[in-house]
Structure 1
Amino acid sequence: MEFFMRHVTRYRIYPSQKVAGRLFNGFARCAFVRNWCLENKVYRDSCLPKLKEEHPELKEVHSKVLQNVVQQIVHNLIALRRLKAKGRKVGKLRKKWVHSMIYEQTGFKLTGNCLWLSKIGELRIELSRPVPGRIKQIVVKHTPAHRWFVAIISETPDTPEPTAGTRAVGIDLNLENFSTDTDGTVFPHPHNVQKAAKRLRRAQRRLSRAVDGSRNRRKQRVRIARIHEQVENRRNDFLHKWSRYYVDHYDYIALEHLNIKPMVESLESKIRGRSKSILDAAWYKARAFIQYKAANAGTYIHILDPAYTTQDCFLCGHREKKDLSQRTHACPVCGYTVPRDLNTAQNILKRASVGWGTPESTLAEIGAATPPIPAVQVPVGEARISRL
């Protein structure tokens, strides 16, 4: 049985004014179908032929696009049902405007720097890198910053071979820095939201003074959306470089599974102003980035429970509670003294190594012979951190 690997690549597209008008009309038709299905509680695409007879304007949209609209509703309902089964409080799907269209299997053709879409026409695409494998799906999206993108989902039959190396690393995600690993490498927190806070405040003040419904207000909303988009792009750029660095340099990577919501909602985080930094760090996205890159490279990833990794001593295992302001681990039993985050990263690797087949006794011997590791700051702009 042949296995396929899925790739998602995103490109900028530049539709003409006429083509952009057709795209917006397509969004409106998709929104109508979605909201009609929710209102009438119809979740099968077999309703589309009859609906097209009643509303002939729906024939202006490719058939697969409308089928995907109905299928997305079904997928969303299944996801809500699963969350509810886990005890989560969920709401219901509401009517909304649609800002994307999905072409699947048919209705598209990519030739050079030209993308053809059925019922839409041709538009220019900026192919910043080649599309890997066979194209299976195309998603056209319009962002709040008034930019057009297309996400191309493709498949390749290549399956990566598991790594044969033995380079292992444990990574501690923290707020003092973004991350610290067992080799003493420290990635500083980029603080993207903090850097853009001043520009965002000024832009939002101008928006509050603009008249509702005016042209200036619409233009100012786009400016604010572009500031948010720039923050997101910078965050993604940092996380891509960070994850690529570890996948390229190590064969076994141990990460902690952090529960973000209680950390953000805790009283201590709100008092000390840490909630914004926690959300800005995007630890869950960082973990997702390193997981999919590791899957493509054949690298092993171990996600484990971080309980007591900060309190336990790496050498002797003595457990002692530490305050968040205490940034140095100094064990009162064995005297092991290292930065707090480095001790946590070593404990993460130690626990993960047991899962990879290393006995506890061997780990204790290795730990007893391990000298303190100096921390080394690695800025993201350094040449040895490769770009995508």
Structure 2
Amino acid sequence: MRYVTRYRIYPNKETEQRLFSAFNRCTYVRNWCLDHKIFKDSILPKLKQEHPELKEVHSKVLQNVVQQIGQNLTGLKKAKEIGRKVGKLRNKRVHSIIYEQSGFKINGDLLSLSKIGDIPIVISRPIIGKIKQISVKHNKTHKWFVSVISETSDKPTKTNGTQCVGIDLNLDTFSTDTDGKVVDNPRKLRTSEKRLRRTQRKMSRKVKGSRNRRKQRLILAKSHERVKNQRDDFLHKWSRYYVDNYDHIAMEDLNIGNMVSQHLHGLNKSIYDAGWRRARYFITYKAESAGKYVYFVNPAYTSQDCFMCGTRVPKTLADHTHSCPECGYTAPRDFNAAQNILKRACVGLDTPELTLVEIGTSALVQTSVSSSR
């Protein structure tokens, strides 16, 4: 099992300056490799002879910088092979460094980094297993974080439980499941738009390059960070609820990129605000750690097909109720979609199709998620 845990660190000004120097030297190595089209870390000894200041950065850190370029190029090549439109790697600044296998040590509330020094760290959660890698990052709001990657030899025990649920993600609410649970959409970006617009306008009035503009940019970055943290907090609690209470979870395999490119009546901002892709990521990794199962099904016509008889009943986004003219089955649109999602997952697993009674027809309950991460 691999675990990734993030902690806040608090370097003093002297240590912070050494970290920034390491970022600058990693930036030079990265951009030099791109300019000269050399992507092997065997070039590093020669670079260190030409630029002795590179010796002030731990060797594993520089090796990782070069290796990441190769990994990025491989990823772009694979994306191009499957027909995706890809660009090319460009020169940019490095805002993080990675120590792998060696060069670091965590002792109590101190993080020791080779060529950097000791940095106070807040261990908010215990580190599980043996530490394999750490990544030190400086974000736009001038906060320092370290991500600790650790491993254990244990493997999650796969569940033998039979608790199943189908989840339909939507914009009116956030989700509706086959047990009738409806989770409200918090719309964190929408509720913060007025404050964000005001902060953005203030920054646009500042003189470019001035100290006041830099101060306002920091205020704006903190406002966006607050929205992101609120959204992540909600999604963590939402995904934790389903992983803790169900053994088999079925969801739609939504292609967010295609949905946004269709320009659905100005819904792009709402789609991004909902954070569906992040919700999928959270629920997937939590389920893997707990030995639970997550299934992603084809989303086509889940809202239009009747769960009882399969008749396709066309609907617009304004239609919130499914009413089948063939069998007379009537249910909220999202509830019918959740039932279809679970049924498709069961058919994909070669299990008998579930009846309406087996899936559940409990009354819809408006609720908000409040469980822990």
With the shorter chain as reference, the TM-score category is over 0.9
Counterpart secondary structure, 2:346: helix
Deviations 1:141-182 (A, max 9, x none): 000111000000000111111111111000001111111000
- In the alignment, is residue 377 of structure 1 matched against residue 366 of structure 2? yes
2: distance between equivalents of 1:86 and 1:138?
32
- In the alignment, is residue 329 of structure 1 matched against residue 318 of structure 2? no
Change (3 A) 1:75 1:222: same
| Gapped regions of structure 1 (runs ≥ 5) | none
Equivalent residue for 2:107?
A: 111
Change (3 A) 1:370 1:153: closer
Equivalent residue for 2:290?
A: 297
- In the alignment, is residue 228 of structure 1 matched against residue 224 of structure 2? yes
Equivalent residue for 2:246?
A: 250
Counterpart secondary structure, 1:97: coil
Corresponding residue to 2:52 among 42, 53, 56: 56
Q: CA deviation at 1:308?
A: 1.5
Counterpart secondary structure, 2:250: strand
Counterpart secondary structure, 1:152: strand
Equivalent residue for 1:162?
A: 158
- In the alignment, is residue 306 of structure 1 matched against residue 306 of structure 2? no
Equivalent residue for 2:311?
A: 318
Equivalent residue for 1:353?
A: 346
What is the correspondence of 1:171-320 to structure 2 with a 5 Å cutoff?
171-267=167-263, 269=264, 271=265, 273-320=266-313
Number of positions where the alignment pairs a residue of Structure 1 with one of Structure 2: 373
Q: Which amino acid aligns with 2:267?
A: R
Equivalent residue for 1:367?
A: 356
Corresponding residue to 2:65 among 69, 85, 90: 69
Deviations 1:238-285 (A, max 9, x none): 111111000000011001101112221224x2x3x3110101111111
Q: Which amino acid aligns with 2:312?
A: R
Corresponding residue to 2:132 among 122, 132, 136: 136
Q: CA deviation at 1:369?
A: 7.8
Q: Contact 2:178/2:361 (CA < 8 Å) preserved in 1?
A: no
Deviations 1:42-86 (A, max 9, x none): 100000001000000001100000000000000000010011101
Q: CA deviation at 1:378?
A: 1.9
Change (3 A) 1:370 1:244: closer
2: distance between equivalents of 1:143 and 1:321?
47
- TM-score, normalised with respect to structure 1: 0.94
Equivalent residue for 2:333?
A: 340
- TM-score, normalised with respect to structure 2: 0.98
Change (3 A) 1:335 1:13: same
CA RMSD for the aligned pairs?
1.2
Counterpart secondary structure, 2:90: coil
Q: Which amino acid aligns with 1:159?
A: K
Q: Contact 1:145/1:222 (CA < 8 Å) preserved in 2?
A: yes
1: distance between equivalents of 2:359 and 2:8?
50
2: distance between equivalents of 1:369 and 1:279?
34
Q: Which amino acid aligns with 2:96?
A: S
Counterpart secondary structure, 1:333: coil
Counterpart secondary structure, 2:128: coil
2: distance between equivalents of 1:351 and 1:111?
50
- Report sequence identity in percent: 61
2: distance between equivalents of 1:54 and 1:368?
74
